[in-house]
Structure 1
Amino acid sequence: MSETNTEGFDALLDVARHSLRNAAPLPAQVELRTYWSGVGFELFGRRLVVALEEVVETLEMPKLTRLPGVKPWVLGVANVRGRLLPVTDLAAMLGGQRKRDGRRRVMVVERGELLAGLLVDDVFGIQHFPDEDRRNASDQPESLEPYLIGEFPSDEHTWLACSMDKLLSESHFMMTSSHHMIENN
């Protein structure tokens, strides 16, 4: 090879070496985690969470109009932005006692045309859990068992994941009239 040809080749090698020395490394491969998100709340002194898409909103206890002839766990109806919202004491419906302090909240859930307000002991906002952390629910109150879809451990609590869709489709939930229950027994 002639002197001229090797100079050009050497120059290309220098450029290649310089580029390799100054090149940014490829980004590290990051494993993406998927998360399950839900609204956290308290009932029976336990932490529960319901899928985010099942909750329309949370409210402070609205002014209620009592209804005659309904089960004691049906607290009444409220007018929320022009829509009638029946409010149910979820703890009483499931056979337990609710807390009596001022932190109680109403979770508004909707299933098709059915809009319902569920009084719970407290609401903790949106919670996020890695999907792979979900496991079968254990050590839960029997009254919650039909509605549980798993649990998520966290540093401080175990969150029981429940389905409001299962609750709203329950015949017990739909039979709010005292008279209706008597006729069917």
Structure 2
Amino acid sequence: MSTDAFQTLRVLSQQVIDFAEPVPATQELIQNWHGAAFDVLGTRCVISADETRMIVDLGDTIPLPGVKHWVRGLANVGGRVVAISDLTSFLSGGAKTSGGKQALIVNGRGIHTGLMIEQSYGGVRLSTEQLRTDIQVADELQPYISGVFSTNDGDYALFDTSKLLIDANFTEASVITSS
């Protein structure tokens, strides 16, 4: 390599250093949360995409004898038999029922079930920075809420199905007692 070529590379190297833009400041990574939004007891809720298999339009259900008032029956969902429960009726102790015809199909703790909801808003993406634990929700919902996403569009209560699926009041749906 000739001295002139080496000197040219040295000049170019210095020009790159002299005229280079500064390294941008480190940007904070904002974590997004994904889920489905729905109404229950007049409260807009969200459920994690990890806990929801799908939102379905419900047809007729086959009633089951000997179960609590909020168990609507069995439905064929995608070729699979799924127990459907009226979430509004369960949470309100039967004082209200869901007028909706949709269900969230959830799976957790080995339980595959459908939760009848009042209305679905489809998928949502929220920032985890918007999640707060100091916002109160209706007393009936409180045991199943893990926080509230506070957004410009309003609040979304984070419904935690794992809390519902360990609640004996929900999992023990039979009214028949053994003797």
Q: What TM-score does the superposition give when structure 2 sets the normalisation length?
A: 0.83
* Residue 47 in structure 1 maps to residue 44 in structure 2: yes
Q: Distance in 2 between matches of 1:77 and 1:10?
A: 82
Runs of at least 5 residues in structure 1 that lack an aligned partner in the other structure: none
Residue in structure 1 matched with residue 32 of structure 2 by the alignment? 35
Structure in which a larger fraction of residues adopt helix: 1
Q: Whose Rg is larger? A: 1
* Residue 106 in structure 1 maps to residue 103 in structure 2: yes
**Aligned-residue RMSD, C-alpha:** 2.7
Runs of at least 5 residues in structure 2 that lack an aligned partner in the other structure: none
Residue in structure 1 matched with residue 58 of structure 2 by the alignment? 61
* Residue 179 in structure 1 maps to residue 176 in structure 2: yes
Rate the CA distance shift 1:104–1:12 in 2: closer, same or farther, 3 A: same
* Residue 97 in structure 1 maps to residue 96 in structure 2: yes
Rate the CA distance shift 1:8–1:151 in 2: closer, same or farther, 3 A: same
Rate the CA distance shift 1:104–1:80 in 2: closer, same or farther, 3 A: closer
Please give the secondary structure, in 2, of the residue aligned with 1:116: strand
Q: Which aligned pairs between 1:1-185 and structure 2 lie closer than 5 A?
A: 11=8, 14-20=11-17, 23=20, 26-95=23-92, 96-98=95-97, 100=99, 104-180=101-177
Equivalent position amino acid for 1:112 in 2: R
1:92-148 Cα shifts (integer Å, max 9, x gaps): 011152453xx5310001123311100001112222222222111523111111111
**Farther-moved stretch of structure 1 (39-48 vs 62-71):** 62-71
**Sequence identity percentage:** 27
Aligned length: 175
